[in-house]
Chain A
Amino acid sequence: MSESPSSAVSSPLATIWTLAVVTFKRLRRGKAMWIGVGLAALPIAYAIARRARGAAVAPDELFAAAMVLLALLPAMFVASSVGEDIEDRTSTYLWSRAIPRWAVLAGKLCALAPVVIVLLAGSWYATIQLGAPASPSLSSVLAMVAGCIAASLIAAGIATVVPKHGMVLSIGYLLVDNFIGAMPFSLAELSITHQATLLAMLDGPHPIATPLFVMALVSGLWAAIGVVRIGRLEV
């Protein structure tokens, strides 16, 4: 307790690391982690059940199921964490500290996006291994990782706009994104699940530049909304 009043504030990296560690610790001790694990296990169980009945499942069918999980897990983890801190006013502890507010979002994303990635990419890998006739391609795993990152950024942005209903609206947004992505219209190009499916190259090689660009654009837009919004919020 001997720091001088003029001592420097924490660096952004140190702040993000501290917030990430705390966020992960809270997640590990809560129920959401186990609900997420249970949800991630559903496609694996489905694939095993189908395989046991002698009917291997096509990878694109399993990927579509994984895309539905992509609508659930980022919302459950990221949107609820960001939204609850604002809604419960625990954010007052953070925002009264000598830290930039964007670092709060970054810290949460650094803790929670990897959890989403491990659960979804892990689920995808295990599902294909156990349920499909082939091993999962590297491109499909990387597509899942890119989808998780994009969906986490979108969920974070939505939660800053509507903290109270951040999780529900994020799920709704990403389900609509799924629906739009399945439509045979040009609007589907704006869907991150559609772009993730293209990236996965399940039906043959595709150029990756456009899917990556669209995913970065859409998720970057939501992340920017989140950063601007959290900088202006008053609690």
Chain B
Amino acid sequence: MTSGIVVADHCSKWYGHVLGVSEVTWTLGRGIVGLLGPNGAGKSTLIKMMAGLLRPSRGSLTVYGARPFDDVAVRRRIGYAPEHDATWDELTALELVTAMARLAGVPAAKAGRAAEDAIAQMGMTAAMHRRVRGFSKGMRQRTKLATAIAHDPDFVLLDEPLTGVDPIARADIVERIKQLGAAGKTIVVSSHVLYEIEALTSDIVVIYRGQVLAEGNVYEIRRLIDRHPHRIRVECDQPRAIAAALAPEDHIARLSFERGGIVIETRDPDRCYDQLASAVLAANVTVSALSSPDNNLGAVFEYLTGDGGRR
């Protein structure tokens, strides 16, 4: 058998007649790996199979040589932060993370300290005695990350950990994930936004329509994606202030106003996000949500997988 932390061998998953993942054969080594693909591509399905939440319909998927759905012990080595926001809102962040650490096998005497450490790593110490119910999207994401790492797992699965968080929190979370990677954890991060993944790692697995299209070098896909304007939707209280700051920039392809915000189309996402953060700070704009619709990525993947497309 091929050695690797995760070994998928012709692994498929169906939800009734809907295909989640199709015939994936893939081996995951160490380090931070980005799982890139548009919504519905199969990223979450693959991550859930690695986390032991789904069982492959066909083929096999092992983590550290064991099947995580059936093997309780191997899940001790896995930390998982789901994509969805739902959690036990009645608890404080510390109570939630402590409970998750206990359930992951950390002894009672050490669980509280382990939870505090994890929360501190995510920069949430000041809010750890507050109930999760009142948390912002970014705070929820950080709390989810803390639940994933409190038991000191070797292998961390983060499903869309940057979705919906503001640019400043996004940069901070990226830095903290990189620190985890530097500490020796193997991390799989999924996203439908290339620049998010690139900020974390150059080791990327491209997944589309349930299949692994490519892995490793990302420069070609990056070049193709850059041909298509990247869309950023900002929900905020002063969209015109953001528009005024970004309109003169040559990388801006289009600015359009929507109810409660603005949609930016750019050919240089990295510069755009930097300038967006500066504009938000300069005009004291309150950003309630920030997202990147994946239409552009989907278009590129359609091109890649189309009849005349390149693989």
A interface residue numbers (CB < 8 A to B): 1-3, 5, 7-10, 14-15, 18-19, 21-22, 25-26, 29-30, 88-90, 92-100, 234-235
Q: For the complex formed, measure the closest distance between the CB of B83 and the CB atoms of chain A, giving whole angstroms.
A: 9
- CB-CB nearest in chain A for B118: A1
A97 and B100 in contact, given A89-B82, A234-B55 (Cβ under 8 angstroms)? yes
Q: Closest approach, in angstroms, between the C-beta of A162 and any C-beta of chain B?
A: 17
A94–B103 contact, CB under 8 A? yes
The 10 closest A-B pairs by CB, nearest first: A98-B76, A96-B80, A29-B90, A88-B86, A97-B103, A98-B75, A96-B51, A26-B90, A1-B152, A18-B102
Determine the distance from Cα of A147 to Cα of B83 in the docked complex, in whole angstroms.
40
B103 touches A89 (CB 8 A): no
Assembled-state Cα–Cα distance A208/B75 (Å): 45
Residues of A within 8 A of B52 (CB): 95-96
**Docked pose: A26 CA to B92 CA in angstroms:** 10
Output the nearest chain A residue to B155 by Cβ-Cβ distance. Answer: A5
A10-B105, A92-B82 known; A25+B53 contact, CB < 8 A:
no
Residue of A nearest to B133 (CB): A29
Please choose the segment from B106-114, B163-171, B231-239, B246-254 that sits at the chain A interface, where 4 or more of its residues have CB less than 8 A away: B106-114
In Å, the complex CA distance between A87 and B48 comes to: 16
- Given A3-B106, A10-B105, answer yes or no on A97-B90 (Cβ-Cβ < 8 Å): no
What residues of chain B lie closer than 8 Å to A89, measured between beta carbons?
82, 84, 86
Q: Provide the bound-state CA to CA distance between A175 and B165, in Å.
A: 47
A95 touches B103 (CB 8 A): no
Q: Name the contact of B95 in the complex, choosing from A10, A25, A94, A97 (C-beta under 8 A).
A: A25
**Chain B hits for A2, CB < 8 A:** 152
**Pick from A3, A8, A21, A95: contact of B152, CB under 8 Å:** A3
List the A residue with the shortest CB-CB distance to B105: A9
* B71, closest chain A residue (CB): A98
B221 in contact (CB, < 8 A): no
Interface size on B, residues (CB 8 A): 41
- The answer on a CB contact under 8 Å between B90 and A3 is no
Residues of B within 8 A of A25 (CB): 90-91, 95
In the assembled complex, the CB of A24 is this many whole angstroms from the nearest CB of chain B, namely 11
In the complex, the chain A residue whose C-beta lies closest to that of B106 is A3
Once the chains bind, are B87 and A3 in contact (CB under 8 Å)? Answer: no
Q: Which residues does chain B contribute within 8 Å of A10, judged by CB atoms?
A: 102-105
- State which residues 100-134 of B face A: CB under 8 Å: 100, 102-106, 108, 110, 114, 117-118, 131
Contact of A8 among B53, B105, B151 (CB under 8 A): B105
Tell me the smallest distance from the CB of A104 to a CB of chain B, in Å: 9
Complex Cα spacing A1 to B156, Å: 14
Q: Mark B21-55, 1 if CB is under 8 A from A, else 0.
A: 00000000000000000000000000010011111
Inter-subunit contact B88/A90 (CB<8 Å): yes
A89 vs B150: C-alpha distance in the bound complex, in angstroms? Answer: 20
B99 interfacial by beta-carbon distance below 8 Å:
yes
| Pairwise interchain contact A93-B76, C-beta atoms closer than 8 A | no
Determine the chain B residues whose CB is within 8 A of the CB of A21 once the complex forms: 99
A88 and chain B: residue at smallest CB distance: B86
CB pairs A–B below 8 angstroms (7 shown): A3-B110, A3-B151, A10-B104, A22-B88, A98-B74, A98-B76, A99-B103
Residues of A within 8 A of B74 (CB): 98
